[in-house]
Amino acid sequence: MPAEDLEGARAALRDGRLADLLSVPECGWLDVKSGVYLLDDASSAGALAKDVAGFANVPAGGLLLVGFSTSREHDREILEQVRPVPRALVNLDRHRKLIRERVIPPPRGVTVDWIDCGNDSGVLVIDVPAQPSAGLPYVVPGPTRGGAAGAVSVG
């Protein structure tokens, strides 16, 4: 049975029922990536931090899923297929550390998990729960002219 809301999607993921997410559209609480965040690349690492901060700033939080493909239907991206990514390209601890260091203030309760799909591949699940309003807004340091993250601007 397809997941119909954020809690249904979280339950499906906890139970390893990835197929329950197929046909679900990307929305305010769901963002899907077909490829991994390359944490050695400043732009990709920044995208991860911005994606997490974005969900930390919405009332319900949200899910970032890496390892699905989507198709476009009526101006919406619909989860179409589970496309596991290589485990060797995903370092869960580095993802957690980057989120803690780059999202200001660090959001509470964010989980970074792996669902093994066999053959040394799987799906990366980043779950950003609802955050206390006292922490708002969650921001990411913006790049300086040299391309490094700066302490003066935010993204």
pLDDT digit string (tens) for 62-103? 999 999 999 999 999 999 999 999 999 999 999 999 999 999
pLDDT at 151 over 60: no
User: What is the value of pTM for the model shown?
Assistant: 0.92
**The token pair that represents 81 in the structure block:** 């297929």
Q: How many CA atoms lie within 13 A of 82 on its CB side?
A: 18
Residue 63: CB atoms within 10 Å: 19
3-class DSSP assignment, residue 66 = strand
The CA distances from residue 66 to 59, 135, 146, 148, 150, in Å, are 22, 27, 29, 25, 27
Say what the pLDDT of residue 154 is.
62
Please tell me the least confidently modeled range out of 24-33, 126-135, 136-145.
136-145
d(CA 47, CA 80): 23
**The token pair that represents 67 in the structure block:** 């390892």
pLDDT in tens, 132-150: 999 999 999 987 655 555 5
Separation of first and last alpha carbons in the chain = 38
pLDDT at 155 over 70: no
**The token pair that represents 85 in the structure block:** 């990514």
Say what the pLDDT of residue 28 is.
96
Q: Taking the C-alpha atoms of 108, 13, 24 and 36 in order, what is their torsion angle to the nearest 10 degrees? A: 70
Residue, of 13 and 145, whose pLDDT is higher: 13
Residue, of 144 and 119, whose pLDDT is higher: 119
Mean of the per-residue pLDDT values for the chain?
A: 93
Say what the pLDDT of residue 142 is.
82
Q: Say which residues have a Cβ less than 8 Å from residue 134's Cβ, sequence separation at least 6.
A: none
pLDDT above 90: percentage of residues in the chain = 88
